[in-house]
Structure 1
Amino acid sequence: MLKLFRKIRRKLIDDKKIGNYLLYAMGEIVLVVIGILIALAINNSNEDRIKREKEQVYLVGLKKDFETSKIKLEELIRVNRESYGAAKEIMFLMDKEQSPSEQILSELFIKAFAYDLFFIPNNSLLNEMINSGSLKDIANVELRVLLTNWIATVDDVSNQEEFLSEQRNNVIEIFRIEGHSIRTIMDRTGMSSQLGLPLQKNASSNLKVLESIAFENDILMFIITSEATEDAHYQPLMQDLNNILGLIAKEIKTK
């Protein structure tokens, strides 16, 4: 093809057809430009295809991670409600004239204060995307913004959970300071047997803690903080999580 073009160009020069030669030269330039544009278009199309395929891989991975995180958050909300619900029951016991059984108090104490609550989402893929700059491969701007804000929101929730943990520890600490027995609670709830510990021969009673104003105050702070953690942190986080999953579902291409 190039030899043919050269022969045509040489013949036009030999025949001194300068005008025709100039038109031919311009046409040749146009053909070259068109060829370059076509090559660029093909290259851009391939790059865009590769980018979209990469995005789909990320979206599928993010969907799996956020679905797992949702299950964790749902369970965390359930346990938190159970926890502050048990704390409220202890408050009701403090107002009753008749003392409850040692068994009931022990079971409520374990249910309310035995476990710290921390939301640990599956953020490994998202962190990798952010650190590598691959978050820009997510075409949906709204989804990209939500994913960027997710990390900061989780950090905020973590700070609130630390505060809630402090309130829980305050209740346990005042229980110890006032000379009550953790061992009695463990014996009554079967924890001692699970740990292979012998039961007390002369068990101490914890019922007098229901007369403690300091214990009551700490429980109230725990209840307030627990409900605030759910209302102001867990529920908005769940809304963000659902929004992210909804947008991911729209962006994933079904085969």
Structure 2
Amino acid sequence: MKIFNKQRYEFMNLKQFRKYMLYATGEIILVIIGILIALAINNWNQQKQLKNANQELQKKVIVQLDKDIGFLKDFQEDIVGLNQTYLKVLGRDYDKDKLNEGSMISTVLFSVNTLSLDKHLNNLIDNAKLDNSKASQKMIDINSMYKIYLKDIDDIEAIIYEKMTNNLAVIEATQSWYAELITDFKCRNDCITYLLTDEGHKSRIATLRFLYVSGYGSIIDGFINDLISAKAELESLIE
């Protein structure tokens, strides 16, 4: 009888243990499911926030593209005016209505026209956390395009600056009126005659015109066209 009671007690304990284990396992499964649901909700919220942030970024990038396209077009007009100034110095036909304002001599000898485009768009994209959308990939492409064009612009500006500096060095070494020009900004008859008729000087001016119009101008033209296309593509990808 005692043996039977003992076996019955052990059986009941085993049965209770199994129930406990089943209950505990169920509790663990519920906790795990709860954690997974919480992680899924958190991840969904993060993805939604990222998507919203990217959509806001896309709008800002489009606004900046508009501003930069306008700025580039204004600079494009400056190059057109500068070209007329160079044509006048070179004794070629020119459109006086398109001449840049300011002294012709100062423009040709001392002024280096530069774009001075800020890097606001680069900063917007570089400092943003992007999602895997096509619009985000397009913004990455636009960012890279900006950096390439800005590098090309820096390079052509450096070449133009060097050519202008070399031109002044030749004038300094060969012309007695240089000191008066550089000190008092006065260009008398001998100065004007040299600038308009000396073949060596005209050759150097022709090179500067080529660098501005064919070099710098071509870069700006390509930049504008690429930005207009990129803006249209990005707008088409916005949800």
- TM-score interval for Structure 1 and Structure 2 normalised by the shorter chain: 0.5 to 0.7
Structure 2 counterpart SS, 1:46: helix
Cα deviation, 1:12-54, whole Å, max 9, x if unaligned, reads x89x599999998887766555544433332121001111222
In the alignment, is the contact (CA less than 8 A) between 2:125 and 2:140 conserved in 1? no
Spell out the pairing of 1:180-219 with structure 2 (5 A cutoff): 180=177, 203-205=188-190, 206-219=192-205
Spell out the pairing of 1:34-53 with structure 2 (5 A cutoff): 34-53=33-52
Spell out the pairing of 1:27-106 with structure 2 (5 A cutoff): 34-92=33-91
User: Where does residue 143 of structure 1 map in the other structure?
Assistant: 139
Aligned mates of 2:132, 2:147 — CA distance in 1: 16
Matched, 1:166 2:165: no
Aligned mates of 1:166, 1:93 — CA distance in 2: 25
User: Where does residue 220 of structure 1 map in the other structure?
Assistant: 206
Aligned mates of 2:175, 2:143 — CA distance in 1: 47
Q: Structure 2: state its 5+ residue gaps.
A: 1-11, 94-101
Cα deviation, 1:52-91, whole Å, max 9, x if unaligned, reads 2222332333333332222222122211222123212222
Spell out the pairing of 1:18-29 with structure 2 (5 A cutoff): none
> Identity of counterpart residues, as a percentage?
17
In the alignment, is the contact (CA less than 8 A) between 2:196 and 2:202 conserved in 1? yes
How many pairs were matched up? 216
Q: Structure 1: state its 5+ residue gaps.
A: 1-12, 95-105, 193-199
Shifted more, 73-82 versus 20-29: the winner is 20-29
In the alignment, is the contact (CA less than 8 A) between 1:146 and 1:244 conserved in 2? yes
TM-score under structure 1 normalisation?
A: 0.64
User: Where does residue 122 of structure 2 map in the other structure?
Assistant: 126
The residue type equivalent to 1:90 in the other structure is V
Cα deviation, 1:148-201, whole Å, max 9, x if unaligned, reads 3422331221111121222234444545543457978xx9xxxx8xxxxxxx7x
Structure 2 counterpart SS, 1:92: coil
In the alignment, is the contact (CA less than 8 A) between 2:61 and 2:124 conserved in 1? no
CA RMSD of aligned residues (A): 4.1
Structure 2 counterpart SS, 1:121: coil
User: Where does residue 4 of structure 1 map in the other structure?
Assistant: none
Aligned mates of 2:188, 2:209 — CA distance in 1: 29
In the alignment, is the contact (CA less than 8 A) between 2:86 and 2:205 conserved in 1? yes
In the alignment, is the contact (CA less than 8 A) between 2:125 and 2:139 conserved in 1? no
Q: Of 153, 157, 172, which residue of structure 2 is paired with 1:157?
A: 153
Change (3 A) 1:243 1:147: farther
Aligned mates of 2:119, 2:108 — CA distance in 1: 29
In the alignment, is the contact (CA less than 8 A) between 1:62 and 1:126 conserved in 2? no
Shifted more, 212-221 versus 167-176: the winner is 167-176
In the alignment, is the contact (CA less than 8 A) between 1:55 and 1:138 conserved in 2? no
The residue type equivalent to 2:60 in the other structure is G
Structure 2 counterpart SS, 1:86: helix
Matched, 1:178 2:175: yes
In the alignment, is the contact (CA less than 8 A) between 2:50 and 2:130 conserved in 1? no
Structure 2 counterpart SS, 1:136: coil
Change (3 A) 1:124 1:111: same
Matched, 1:235 2:217: no
Structure 2 counterpart SS, 1:243: helix
Aligned mates of 2:167, 2:129 — CA distance in 1: 43
The residue type equivalent to 2:140 in the other structure is R
Aligned mates of 2:129, 2:206 — CA distance in 1: 43
